[in-house]
Amino acid sequence: MDQATVWHLSALLNAERRRRGTRTGTRSLTCYKQAVLILRWFRDDTAIEALARDNHISRATGYRYIDEGVDVLADQAPDLYEVLEHARLVPQDPLILDGKLFPSDRSAEPGPTGKSDLWYSGHKHRHGGNIQFLSDARGEPLWVSEVEPGSTADITAARLHVFPLLHKAMAGGVVTLADSGYEGAGVGVRTPIKRPPQVDEHRWHVDDRAHNRLLRGLRCIGERAMAVLTGRWRVLRHTTMSPSKIGSIVQAALALTNIEKQNR
C-alpha cells in the first residue's frame, strides 16, 4: 500500500474531524488507521466485517468509517466545470463521453411503470447504477457523474449531468466523441454516422466509413478510462451497498487515482 496515499487520506480525515469538532481520543481508530481501513476496502474489496474484526471495532462502526471516507474523498473529485475549463485550453485534444453500469446487488425498487426494477438495466441484464464519465484521448478518467438508476439510458443520464455545461464548452471549441447511444445529443458531440437502410457496406460512402473508423479508433482509447478505475479499485466491480451510493464511491475512487498520481 502506498504510504504517501495513506498519509494524504489521513490528513483529509483529520481535517474532517476538526471541521466536525471531534474531540481528541473519542474515536476508536486514529486517522491513519481509518485511512488504512478505507484503502483496504477500495483496493481489495475486503469485507467490512473483516475490516472491523481486524481493527477490533463493531461492524456498524466499520460501515460508518467507510461512509466517512467515501464522502471525504468524493469531495476531492474533479468538478465538471473545472474539467471543461481545462479542456478549453487544449481544444485539439478531444474529450470522450461514455457511460458505464456499475453492478450492485438486486434492488427491488419499482420503476416508473411499476412493472420493472428501477435499478435493473435491460440492456446489460443486471442491476446497477449508470455513471457518465469524461476521459481524455489517452484513456485517463477526468470526471464522473452522480449515479442514475440502471434503467436510465445513457443519453438521458447525460442530459441530466453533462450536457448543460458541455454544450456551453463546445462553443469554446471543445470537441466530444461518443458512441451511437448519444445520437441526437446536439452540435459538438460527434457520434457514428448510421448506415442508410438497404445499403451494402461496400456501397456505403467512403467518407462516412472513414469517419466512423476514425471516431472508433479515438474513442476506444478513451473508453479504457473506466477499466483503469475498476482494475485499480476492486470495490467498483460489485457493490453490496445501496446502489444510490455508487456515484459517491466512483467519485471517491477517481479522487484516489488522482492522489496516487500526485504522489508518484
CB neighbourhood size of 49 (10 A):
11
Q: What is the pLDDT of residue 54?
A: 96
Q: Is the pLDDT assigned to residue 92 strictly greater than 80?
A: no
Higher pLDDT, 91 or 213: 213
Domain boundary assignment for the chain: 3-74, 80-241
Q: Give, in degrees to the nearest 5, the angle at Cα 248 between 37 and 57.
A: 25
Which of 77-86, 112-121, 129-138 is least confident?
Answer: 112-121
Judge whether residue 7 has pLDDT over 80. Answer: yes
pLDDT of residue 91: 65
pLDDT at 95 over 80: yes
Comparing 110 with 145, the larger pLDDT belongs to: 145
Most confident of 1-15, 191-205, 207-221: 1-15
pLDDT of residue 62: 96
CA–CA separation, 75 vs 252, rounded Å?
8
Rounded (to 5) percent helix, strand, coil in the chain = 50, 15, 35
User: Of all residues in the chain, what percent carry a pLDDT higher than 90?
Assistant: 59
pTM for this structure? Answer: 0.91
Tens of pLDDT, residues 98-113: 999 999 987 767 766 6
Evaluate if residue 22 carries a pLDDT over 80: yes
Of 119 and 171, the structure prediction assigns the larger pLDDT to 119
pLDDT at 115 over 70: no
Give the span between the Cα atoms of 139 and 77, in whole angstroms: 17
pLDDT of residue 246: 96
Q: What is the pLDDT of residues 154-205, one digit of tens each?
A: 999 999 999 988 888 877 778 899 998 998 887 778 898 887 776 666 677 7
The residue written with cell numbers 485517463 in the block is: 140
Q: How far is the C-alpha of 126 from the C-alpha of 105, rounded, in Å?
A: 9
C-alpha distances out from residue 194 to 94, 123, 153, 183, 197, Å: 21, 20, 19, 10, 9
